[in-house]
Amino acid sequence: METYDTAIVGAGFGGLAAGAQLTKMGYKVALFEASNELGGSAGKYERGGYRFQSGATLGMGFEEEGVFHSLYQTLGLKPPPMTLLNPIMDIHLPDRTIHYYRDRHQWYEEIDRQFPDVKEKVKAFYDEVFYVGAMVDRLVHQLPIFPPRTVKDWAGLFPLMNVPSVKMMPFLTQTIYRRLQKFGLHRHSLFITFLNGELMDSVQTNVERCPAFLGYAALQTFHKGAYAVQGGLATIAEQLAEYMKRQGNDVFMRHPIYEVSQAGDLFNLKSKREKVFRSEQVIMNNSVHNLHHTLFPRLARQSYVRKEKEQSREAWGAFIIHAGVKEEVFANTESLYHQFIDPANPEGLHDGGQFLLSLSRPEDSFMAPEGMRSLTLSTHTDIAQWWMRENYESNKQLMTDRLISIVNHYFPGFAEGLDLVLPGTPVTFQKWLKRHDGKVGGYAPTGKFSWLNSYSVRTGIPRLHQCGDTVFPGAGTLGVTLSGLMAAKLISQD
């Protein structure tokens, strides 16, 4: 039986980044994926001539010195063809459409048009967003192990305690709402509605609950470079997996890991038909939600992640619709990404109160037949309602009809132009992506100090680590990828 240096459970972006980085370092790596697709919640599947993106659709981090730009340079890979987006998306409210430009100068001109009564205040707020976001980037890109769990982790933070990091302290102890008070924007309903929509999309929460530094980092990321990747984000996942295989490492598809146990100095990973793989180290990329369902109980008790605490933490599910649509329906817009926000229900930024539509590029033949486009509609959703069987089908139909109706209001002919409509719920995410209870997107911040409750890439179990959207620095393909690189760094140092 072959023994690996590192076994990685889950081929989401965190596991793929860790696997590719460790491969580059010369480690013998095995990557296990339960499904038939790579990329996890940023993966894809194909039906009826269409390629659909499982969840995440927007490419980030390929700008100069960005996360993926740096990783691809390290690995010597050529990025897939992609289109830089500007505007990033159109945001539709009943009385207006806000064009969310990547270019800062154009965005400030749009602020002048959309928020004329407070335009200077909004621009001053965004000056602060860009300033603080850049500081956060410089710190996180050094891959600190956070929260620190060992003396070595604490020692790794000390070099980061410099003048810029001290300047960041106010933003570590305040919410975005508190910062809006400073600018006199906390009662401006239109701007808060807009901001809540962007924060819900990026960090799963609103201005009142979002730590300032975390929200600022997310908001400024949009303006660094957002891309439509040819073939979808799954193309990136496929490139990373192929790199591992070309270097002689193993990527096992349709190999769920049902149990991880320890025997002496090695870990045993039990897969289908009782097949067992051995490894000296393990990275869990199947989310903290699944941790206690995968680890052998005696091993799980060593972890600082407590099952009872984890189950009580707030996490969202996703309701998603994949479909084809006639190209002519969107002939009058160049934007590939559209957000719809209902300002009449500012607390309802989920279950259709705020949702996203992403379209494939008309020229991308990977994604749809000629004359058609592949699309994804997605909204955050409360999980509990989807596990009540008696209401499941009716709830699914109601949500499907609601989202389609709203889009059809802004783009007449949308409903009639649809083809192959495939709705999915948290039940779908559990079935196909093995996300426990269908939880996706990590943990929703709940206040100014909620970031202190983040999980580290350390599990508390020696030589067994974790990465993904439930681990610092959090959700999104960039956060997930960074956590994978942190786990790889930890293995190489330990």
Q: Span 396-412, mean pLDDT?
A: 96
Please give the pLDDT value at position 346: 53
Give 95's contacts (C-beta < 8 A, 6+ positions apart): none
Residue 247, SS3 per DSSP: coil
Tens digit of each residue's pLDDT (9 = 90 or more) over 76-134: 999 999 999 999 999 999 899 999 999 999 999 999 999 999 999 999 999 999 999 99
User: Containing domain of residue 22, as a range?
Assistant: 3-45+59-78+231-312+448-493
Domain check: are 210 and 109 in the same one? yes
Tokens 């990977």 locate to 366
Beta strands 276-284 and 266-270 are: antiparallel
Q: What is the pLDDT of residue 56?
A: 82
The stretch 450-471 carries a mean pLDDT of: 95
The CATH number linked to 464 is 3.50.50.60
Position 120 in a domain: yes
| 365-394 residue pLDDT tens | 999 999 999 999 999 999 999 999 999 999
Cis peptide bond prior to 473, omega within 30° of 0 = yes
Q: Are residues 153 and 215 in the same domain?
A: yes
In this prediction, residue 163 has a pLDDT band, given cuts at 50, 70 and 90, of low
DSSP for 46-72, please give it.
EETTEEEESS---EES-STT-HHHHHH
Residue 297 falls inside a structural domain: yes
Number of domains in the chain: 2
Claim: this prediction has a pTM higher than 0.75:
yes
Instruction: Mention every residue, 6+ apart, whose C-beta is less than 8 A from residue 155.
Output: none
- With left for phi above 0 and alpha for psi between -120 and 50, is residue 132 left, alpha or beta? alpha
Once rounded to an integer, what is the mean pLDDT over residues 245-249?
98
Residue 453 belongs to some domain of the structure: yes
Q: Residue holding tokens 């070099």?
A: 159
Tell me, yes or no, whether 274 lies in a domain: yes
**Neighbouring-strand partners of residue 373:** 325
For residues 328-342, average pLDDT = 94
Whole-angstrom Cα distance, residue 449 to residue 344?
A: 29
In a domain, 240, yes or no: yes
Strand pairing report for 354-359 and 372-381: antiparallel
Q: Alpha-carbon distance 126 to 174, whole Å?
A: 16
Looking at residue 360, the DSSP 8-state letter turns out to be -
